[in-house]
Structure 1
Amino acid sequence: MTPRKTLAALLTGAVGVLGGLVLLGAPAAQADTLGTLTPSPATGADISPMSLTTSGSCPEPATHILVSVTGAGFPAEGQNVVGNSEIGIYPVVGSGYEVPLTETMRDYANTAGFKTLEGRYEFTVTCRKAFGTATYGDFKGSIWFTSNTAYQSTAPVQATTTSLTVAPAGSVTQGTSVKLTAKITPSTAPGSVRFLDGTTPYGSPVTVSNGTASLSTTTLAVGAHSLKAQFTPANPANHTGSVSAAVPLTVKVRAPSVTTAPKVTGTAKVGSKVTCAVKFSGATTVRHQWLRDGKVITGATASTRTLDSTDRTHKVSCRPSGVNTGGTTTVTSPAVTVATGPALKVKTAPAISGTAKVGKKLTAKAGTWTPAAQSYTYVWKRAGKAISGATKSTYTAVKADKGHTLTVTVTAKRSGYANGAATTKSVKVT
């Protein structure tokens, strides 16, 4: 590997000898991008030495490279910072080359005639031959100056601002379409906007397009609202999030009134059907929502509900809503505690199959039950007394069984219901 000092001297010579040739103009054709450049060190100062490592090698028939830089202060077409030089003088790093810059960014700025380094500067390593204008691809990479003297190799986080407009403004009647429009600055910041009513999210996040996100709604509830727009960037490494100032909106309605308070009627136990009983004055539609321990039960929106095992021992209530064109009135019933359902009932009695003879295996069939059992337990009995350890669906008769009768008591179980039990007919062991 060529020592850095010698390599730098070679590059300086290349700039001096070939600079006039390279600076005559840009290559005649636009080259394809072959890969990326990695600046080293990743952070530094305007007077720091720097090198660029390509992500790959130049394709044939390229034998030389040159390096240029663009950005604030430099010519639009770029300024050459490493002259046309042989690829072979550069150390190979991985599948690419390490190309040291011959001077610092401060030196290049002075050459270009400006003093302030700011924003993004893009370097381009162009693959070419020693002579001619044909090029064979570029490697590109950038650094960002966060001050006049400090740079980093990752884009700095850019601050954003969010503003919100509400139309119509001030106050509306419930049911009127209200449009919330958020504007994000800078408009190029990608991300999404979540609209807030106070601190509560309203609707789903909306993707920002050209710096704008909007949501139209007719479902704002009666009362005063404090609406905001919250921007979440797609890449927090590039942009900050931001929240708009609150915009007040009052929704005015005439809602139905309750004439008979809601209550849950029926037997509150697993397997039973209960009804949400309520009366509204002036309602054209009545909607229902069932609650368990004060929380919404997803999908439970009928006026009746058959209680299931998930309700057992919990408090169930209903939340009816009276609706008309003027608005919605929602009330919640007192809760009832759901008891365990009745014991499972046998439909087809359990039975013992197999040969009732010492040394033979017998099998207990569980039978069928209503409602359907989820699991069973078994107790084998000899002459009506439980046999120690005989609690599986199968049992092999032993000498102690000879001359005695065997039965099996099957217990059927289902979550939320009391257990059911039934005993098979007896068989005599020979």
Structure 2
Amino acid sequence: MKFSTARRPLSVALASLLAAGALAFGTAGARADVLGSMEVTPATGTDTSGITLTTAGPCPAEATNLIVSVAGSGFPAEGQNVVSNSPIETYGSTGNGGIVVPLTQTMRDYASTAGFTTLQGRYDFTLTCRAAFGSTTYGDFTAPVWFTSNTAYQSAAPAAATTTTLAAAPAGPVVVGTAVKLTATLAPAEAAGSVRFLDGAAELGAPVPVSAGTATLTSSGLAVGTHSLKAEFTPSDPAAYGTSVSAALSYTVKIKPPAVTTPAKVTGTAKVGSTVTCTVAFGGATSVRYVWLRDTAVISGATARTRPLVAADYPHKTSCRAIATNSTGSTTATSPAVTVGLGPALRNVTRPSITGTAKVGYRQTAKPGTWTPAATTYSYVWKRDGRAISGATRVTYYPTRADRGHLITVTITAKRPGYAWGYATSAQRRIG
């Protein structure tokens, strides 16, 4: 059979053995009277500080020995001995007979012995007055300490925690000038003190006393924008209750939506190749964006205030839509639609010409010249002495005997979608 062993301080083991022996001798039962309190020195310290316990008075005359234990989070439920069964006479005393017991180890040492690492909350030291042998006890002295962190303790009870919550009515968003009622609710409700209402770091009015767990403040002065509102509780007795601050309450105050002051209108020449402008004015807008439409359908990518009209706009209707925005919302204004006309006729920049040998039977080739804007297609009409030659409408022409001695030209029609056609005629050449 396998046995497990646990290391214990020799004094603890000896005390247990003595107690067991005393039971064998049939000693009287224990008494659990509380004799008084103890002072913890120093009153504040750390997990590695040396601690001294001083009782408020002496043990009863019958007691010859004492034991000290500590109980709390991490320690056994019945407590862990920190001073084994020891004669009272080995310790110093105060003028009123109080017993001065320096602990030989620190709270960190005791926690390590108990097998845990986090010191937290309340721990109670109990000094038990007892007989040297047996289990007879004559009462206890007690003293608490509180670990406010894993490493820091204090002998005074920490202030009771409070919580503060904040609500606003009406619920935001509201328009500027609205009377907003702020209500701070405190728990526990019996905590006395006052509440500061804050907008960011700025205080709203004077501190308000707490009454029956609440404090209220009404303000009409919240400016346009988003506010971070908080309620901060300050107790009248900091030793009894702690301070607390509510979670930030985001609260929005808005201006009115933008208003149209000049109706939307498409201005400029509504012809292909021209640029039109969406003319409109708003009051109270922080930004304006634009949408252009063709026959009521939104034109992808057309989001500027101005727009060049393209071939695809002819002969459709175009209009613009302006969307003005501020912190409250958006207002839309749509212009009346205008019909897009043809752009101007293509203009000849370099005159058309004819290449090839100017003789009957030799191929003549028309060169269309250059145009602005650039043409996408051309058509051709060949002429003899200024009159159209029947069927001669290709880019090339072969002169016949009827052309000998006459002057031929070619007239070019330049075309581009959305624009009026342009016309130009080449210089004459005589066919030999």
Q: TM-score, structure 2 length as denominator? A: 0.41
Structure number with bigger Rg? 2
